[in-house]
C-alpha cells in the first residue's frame, strides 16, 4: 500500500542545500528552521514549531524560508517574526501557513496577517501586509515571494522560480530532486555540457528542449554558481 505524502511535508533538501539554493550565508537556514544557541541562550526556530535537530528540510519549510530570505536585508533580526508566524499557525491550524496562497492572496488572509502583525507589534520592516488607502496590500518582500511561487488548486506552494530573470528555470520537489531545472533537466547538467564544448543546439536536441531554455539554464548557472 503506497502512502501519499503531502507536497509540503515532502523531505527534499539538506540545510546546506537550502543555504545554497536561496543564496544564504552558511548556517542561516539551520538557525531559521531549527533554532540555535548562543552564549548560553536558546533561540527557538522560526520555521519549525520546535527544534528537531533533523537535517532534512521539507518542501514547506523550504518555501517558508524563501519568504524569510526576502526580508534578510531589512536590518531587523528575522527572529522577531516568530511570534507572528506562531499566531498565524494557531489561527489557520496549518503547519505551513505562509506556504498557502490563502494567507497572502485572499482578502481574508491578508486581513488576518495584518491583524496578527499589529497584535504582536511586528517591526514595520518585517511586515507582510499593510493597509493602504483602505486596501490590504503586500509589502515588496512579500510580493516578491508570492510572484516566485506557483500554487495548486488547494492553495499549496508546489513550484518556485529561483530567479525572476529566468522564468524557464524552476524548483519542483517532484523533479530533478528539487534542483534548478528546465522541464526536468537540471540546469547544472546543461551548463556542464555546454562548458565541456557541446554546442547549445546539440544540447537542446539531446534533451528535446527549446534553444532558449538551454541558454536560460546556462545563464542561470553562470549567475548562481559564481
Q: What is the pTM of this model?
A: 0.94
Q: What value, to the nearest 5°, has the Cα angle with vertex 19 and ends 13 and 25?
A: 165
Residue 33, H or E segment: helix 28-34
pLDDT for residue 3: 41
CB neighbour burial string for 131-141, b if at least 16 within 10 angstroms, e if fewer: eeeeebebbeb
At residue 226, the pLDDT reads 63
Say what the pLDDT of residue 225 is: 82
Q: What is the pLDDT of residue 38?
A: 87
Strands (E) in the chain, as ranges, are 11-14, 36-38, 41-43, 56-58, 129-132, 135-138, 149-151, 157-160, 181-182, 185-186
Mean pLDDT of successive 10-residue stretches along the chain, which has 226 residues: 70 97 96 93 94 97 97 92 96 95 95 97 97 95 97 96 96 97 97 97 97 97 87
Give the residue extent of every domain in the chain.
Answer: 161-226
CATH 1.10.10 fits 161-226, yes or no: yes
Structure-block grid coordinates of residue 171: 524548483
> Helix 211-224 vs helix 200-207: angle between axes, to the nearest 10 degrees?
110
Question: Using CA atoms, how far apart are residues 215 and 213, in angstroms rounded to an integer?
Answer: 5
Name residues whose C-beta falls within 8 Å of residue 5's C-beta, 6 or more positions apart in sequence: none
pLDDT of the residue at 55: 98
What the block records as the C-alpha cell of 192 is: 556542464
Amino acid at each position: 500500500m503506497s502512502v501519499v505524502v503531502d507536497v509540503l511535508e515532502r523531505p527534499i533538501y539538506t540545510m546546506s542545500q537550502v543555504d545554497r539554493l536561496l543564496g544564504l550565508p552558511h548556517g542561516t537556514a539551520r538557525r531559521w528552521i531549527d533554532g540555535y544557541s548562543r552564549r548560553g541562550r536558546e533561540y527557538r526556530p522560526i520555521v519549525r514549531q520546535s527544534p528537531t535537530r533533523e537535517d532534512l528540510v521539507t518542501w514547506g519549510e523550504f518555501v517558508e524560508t524563501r519568504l524569510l530570505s526576502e526580508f534578510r536585508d531589512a536590518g531587523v533580526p528575522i527572529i522577531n517574526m516568530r511570534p507572528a508566524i506562531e499566531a498565524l499557525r494557531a489561527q489557520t491550524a496549518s503547519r505551513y501557513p505562509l506556504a498557502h496562497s490563502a494567507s497572502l492572496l485572499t482578502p481574508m488572509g491578508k486581513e488576518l496577517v495584518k491583524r496578527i502583525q499589529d497584535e504582536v507589534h511586528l517591526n514595520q520592516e518585517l511586515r507582510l501586509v499593510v493597509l493602504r488607502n483602505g486596501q490590504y496590500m503586500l509589502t515588496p518582500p512579500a510580493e516578491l515571494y508570492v510572484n516566485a511561487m506557483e500554487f495548486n488548486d488547494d492553495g499549496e506552494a508546489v513550484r518556485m522560480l529561483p530567479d525572476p530573470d529566468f522564468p524557464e528555470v524552476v524548483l519542483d520537489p517532484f523533479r530533478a530532486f528539487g534542483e534548478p531545472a528546465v522541464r526536468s533537466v537540471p540546469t547544472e547538467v546543461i551548463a556542464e555540457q555546454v562548458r565541456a564544448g557541446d554546442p547549445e543546439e546539440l544540447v537542446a536536441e539531446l534533451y528535446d528542449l527549446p534553444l532558449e531554455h538551454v541558454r536560460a539554464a546556462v545563464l542561470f548557472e553562470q549567475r548562481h554558481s559564481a
